[in-house]
Structure 1
Amino acid sequence: MWLVLTTTCCLICGTLNADRFFNLENEANPEVWMNISEIITYNGYPSEEYDVTTQDGYILSVNRIPHGRRGAPSPGPRPVVYLQHALFADNASWLENYANGSLGFLLADAGYDVWMGNSRGNTWSRRHRTLSVTEEKFWAFSFDEMAKYDLPAIVDLIVNKTGQEKLYFIGHSLGTTIGFVAFSTMPELAQRIKMNFALGPVVSFKYPTGIFTSFFLLPNSIIKGIFGTKGVFLKTGKEPALKICNNKILWVICSEFMSLWAGYDKKNMNMSRMDVYMSHAPTGSSMQNILHIKQLYRSDEFRAYDWGSEAENMHHYNQSRPPLYDLTAMKVPTAMWAGGHDVLVTFRDVARVIPQIRNLQYFDLLPDWNHFDFIWGLDAPQRVYSKIIALMKSYS
């Protein structure tokens, strides 16, 4: 999307004076280009930052808001909640609206000990004990490894630091996928989760209708030819695209592209915050992760990554085909939300998943919501976040 926005910018500015045109920018928000620790402290909250090393050697950055702006309500431990971001995002996505509209801040003010991780390969978790980011082997991962290694390492860190044996899990988009894989395959980890909250859940990926779909129709060779075989960073054109979205005239173009990407619900996004959103996303991920998501789309099955041959699959799984993930094995109490205007994770796909969730405690379809409304929607605090907090209190 960023490349298309940049091309559009160049075409427009080819007929107009570029300097004069970009002088029409709105005043930038202070949080533009801030890291998450800076965003937390800028908003007046306590901030802690940790590194955790996974079993397979990746070094992940994890952030914590131990309590709200008014201080710790009591000397005792507070209930813990962990938030897992989406594909091409980082943990700042939970904090990019104002404090009264961002889930991370609202949870802290509601009395929760808030933890937010960064998946391997994104801007803040691009380190390894022995591997360099220039090596192919560094990028040989998908959401399989994020579920198998990243999430357990982060949960262990949280348990060790807080002394709390159980916590709540909230995921958005691919963050929900990580949770579903982990909780259905690792019973010991699942026992540590009080409740699983899935926002725009990605399991079935048969019916997407956004522009992402056309990308998945391309052969792997072309996709790799465009983005390479290692990491997918999508930084090209990010700053010009940000200029378009923050321009007093061109912001409409940005709004249209966001609708093509995630679905139509323009009135529910604070366009004055677009520069904050776009300065933090997209971050990076691996080509293997992208191809794994493509496999979900093409195969219509929720399986581990297909390494491309029976021999490779035998090496990794001791079977010729990647194993299926059985969601019926997940016993964690779960609540899910879907958007009726979500073109990335459509309700048709979510409806296929619902019967597989054996311990589904709550489901809500928001008819007018798109895929980004779960983190950026102006009415998210009233329509979703308040319900999350109410459910957390009932499952304390």
Structure 2
Amino acid sequence: QMITSKGYPEENHKVTTEDGFILTLQRIPRGRKGIYRAEKKEVVLLQHGLLGESTNFLDDLANESLAYILADSGADVWLANSRGNSYSRAHVHLKPSQEIFWNWSSDEMAQYDLPAMVDYITTKTGVSKITYIGHSQGTLIGFGGFSQNKTLASKVKLFIALAPIARLGHIKGPLHLISPLTKDLQKLEQMLGKGEFMPHSKFDVFLAKDVCHPFGRLCDTGFFLTGGFDLGNLNKSRTPVYIAHNPSGTSVRNFIHYGQVSTGCFNVELDLNHADGNFKIPFYPQPTPPIYHPEDIETPIAVFHGGHDWLSDAIDVQWLLPKLKHLVYEKLISHWMHVDFIYGVDAPKQCYKPIVQLIFNSTVTE
């Protein structure tokens, strides 16, 4: 209803991964005015970040939200929902109430979720290649999937990375403060459990309706805390909408993944063993974690990054850029924080316009 209420067509699709998770894909096949470029059919998959959901690309007004802007430009837009969030809480055998349901991190998203979604979309639309746009964790999934799975990479014509995460050596904010706790997994499990982390709840709706709406500024800092915040680049009137949809939940194991990587793990891998060799994440199904090498990606990549991003830190981005053999475009938006890529008031001009140009024209004229 969120999409159709703005006058856009909407479809909902279910995709089952190889390991049994049932994911929800939302589709906007065309724009409000029925724009459809049959001569150059562009299919785009949008992948949200950590604790996010598909609505991250829909929460602002139609002329301010990336999904709608792409649809109105003539793209066939698909919106992902990662396992465990509000839209993808199903499995062929397991239930969310079971601890084992939550035994995954972004590694499984790269290994299972991304290939399942891309295969489904290419089959459904009949195209051989799509454009993949990831924000935050969505880029991490892309770096993992495209570097390790060449068949998957061959189905992506362009990977657009917003606030890229390829390592977390210089993060700031809460994740940096929490990361030392990952050295004592037993204590961390006592604090967090082994199941779901920060699920969407009725309390979020209460915050949005009864707290954020009349007193918007009370919610701004908490919402932006993980990636850094700039109140001057936020549409305050939309804060209740943002809070109503965020956070959307993930697994404790995925959260631990981020904390461990930030303690010094070289790149996007789950650090199962500490220096003494005595530690392992409980019930992790592999003896060693996968290691992703961005330099192995053959897919053309465009990178947008912020100068004040607490998660996708400038030093880490500068480490990444030379490793991308097929970097076709790169833009630093000096004043941006982590969530400005989805909610910044100047996002349509700074980011979405060049994205549309990259997809349809392969070049940017700013």
Q: Which amino acid in structure 1 is aligned with residue 93 of structure 2?
A: T
Q: How many residues align?
A: 355
In 1, the alpha carbon distance for the partners of 2:37 and 2:301 equals: 29
Q: Is the 8 A contact 1:48 1:64 kept in 2?
A: yes
Corresponding position of 1:238: 204
- Greater shift, 162-171 or 210-219, is seen at 210-219
Q: Is the 8 A contact 2:199 2:250 kept in 1?
A: no
Q: Is the 8 A contact 1:296 1:302 kept in 2?
A: yes
How far the C-alpha of 1:362 sits from its partner, in A, is: 1.1
Q: Is the 8 A contact 1:166 1:194 kept in 2?
A: yes
In 1, the alpha carbon distance for the partners of 2:124 and 2:221 equals: 44
Corresponding position of 1:79: 42
- Change in 2 beyond 3 A, CA 1:139/1:257: closer
Rg larger in structure: 1
Q: Is the 8 A contact 1:183 1:330 kept in 2?
A: yes
In 2, the alpha carbon distance for the partners of 1:303 and 1:39 equals: 34
How far the C-alpha of 1:363 sits from its partner, in A, is: 1.1
Q: Is the 8 A contact 1:343 1:370 kept in 2?
A: yes
In 2, the alpha carbon distance for the partners of 1:322 and 1:299 equals: 15
Q: Is the 8 A contact 1:168 1:392 kept in 2?
A: yes
Q: Is the 8 A contact 2:103 2:253 kept in 1?
A: yes
Matched, 1:367 2:330: no
- Change in 2 beyond 3 A, CA 1:52/1:256: closer
How far the C-alpha of 1:311 sits from its partner, in A, is: 11
In 1, the alpha carbon distance for the partners of 2:254 and 2:89 equals: 15
Corresponding position of 1:328: 295
Matched, 1:48 2:11: yes
User: CA-to-partner distance for each residue in 1:51-75, whole Å, 9 max, x for gaps?
Assistant: 0111111100000000000014356
- Change in 2 beyond 3 A, CA 1:198/1:287: same
How far the C-alpha of 1:239 sits from its partner, in A, is: 3.9
How do 1:201-212 residues align onto structure 2 when only pairs under 5 Å count? 201-212=164-175
Q: Is the 8 A contact 2:18 2:112 kept in 1?
A: yes
Q: Secondary structure, in 3 states, of the residue corresponding to 1:262?
A: coil
- Change in 2 beyond 3 A, CA 1:325/1:246: same
In 2, the alpha carbon distance for the partners of 1:342 and 1:233 equals: 22
Corresponding position of 1:284: 249
Aligned with 2:322 (options 355, 372, 389): 355
- Change in 2 beyond 3 A, CA 1:217/1:306: closer
Q: Which ranges in structure 2 are unaligned for 5 or more consecutive residues?
A: none
Aligned with 1:127 (options 85, 90, 94): 90
Q: TM-score, structure 2 length as denominator? A: 0.91
- Change in 2 beyond 3 A, CA 1:74/1:359: closer
Q: Which amino acid in structure 2 is aligned with residue 97 of structure 1?
A: D
- Change in 2 beyond 3 A, CA 1:366/1:102: same
In 1, the alpha carbon distance for the partners of 2:292 and 2:269 equals: 7
Q: TM-score, structure 1 length as denominator? A: 0.84
How do 1:260-299 residues align onto structure 2 when only pairs under 5 Å count? 260-299=225-264
- Greater shift, 48-57 or 300-309, is seen at 300-309
Matched, 1:381 2:348: yes
In 2, the alpha carbon distance for the partners of 1:115 and 1:152 equals: 14
Aligned with 1:257 (options 219, 222, 225): 222
How far the C-alpha of 1:305 sits from its partner, in A, is: 2.7
How do 1:337-356 residues align onto structure 2 when only pairs under 5 Å count? 337-356=304-323
How far the C-alpha of 1:234 sits from its partner, in A, is: 4.1
How far the C-alpha of 1:295 sits from its partner, in A, is: 1.9
- Greater shift, 273-282 or 289-298, is seen at 289-298
- Greater shift, 209-218 or 269-278, is seen at 209-218
Corresponding position of 1:229: 194
In 1, the alpha carbon distance for the partners of 2:221 and 2:212 equals: 10
Matched, 1:154 2:121: no
In 1, the alpha carbon distance for the partners of 2:198 and 2:222 equals: 19
Q: Which amino acid in structure 2 is aligned with residue 238 of structure 1?
A: D
Corresponding position of 2:361: 394
Structure 1 runs of 4+ off > 6 angstroms? 309-313
- Change in 2 beyond 3 A, CA 1:201/1:127: same
- Greater shift, 261-270 or 280-289, is seen at 261-270
- Greater shift, 200-209 or 162-171, is seen at 200-209
Q: Secondary structure, in 3 states, of the residue corresponding to 1:362?
A: strand
In 2, the alpha carbon distance for the partners of 1:211 and 1:306 equals: 19
Q: Which ranges in structure 1 are unaligned for 5 or more consecutive residues?
A: 1-37
Q: Which amino acid in structure 1 is aligned with residue 13 of structure 2?
A: Y
Q: Which amino acid in structure 2 is aligned with residue 190 of structure 1?
A: A
In 2, the alpha carbon distance for the partners of 1:358 and 1:109 equals: 32
Aligned with 1:217 (options 180, 183, 194): 180
How do 1:6-25 residues align onto structure 2 when only pairs under 5 Å count? none
Q: Is the 8 A contact 1:96 1:277 kept in 2?
A: yes
Q: Which amino acid in structure 1 is aligned with residue 300 of structure 2?
A: P
In 1, the alpha carbon distance for the partners of 2:200 and 2:11 equals: 27
In 1, the alpha carbon distance for the partners of 2:255 and 2:157 equals: 30
Q: Which amino acid in structure 2 is aligned with residue 183 of structure 1?
A: F
How far the C-alpha of 1:39 sits from its partner, in A, is: 1.0
Q: Percent identity?
A: 38
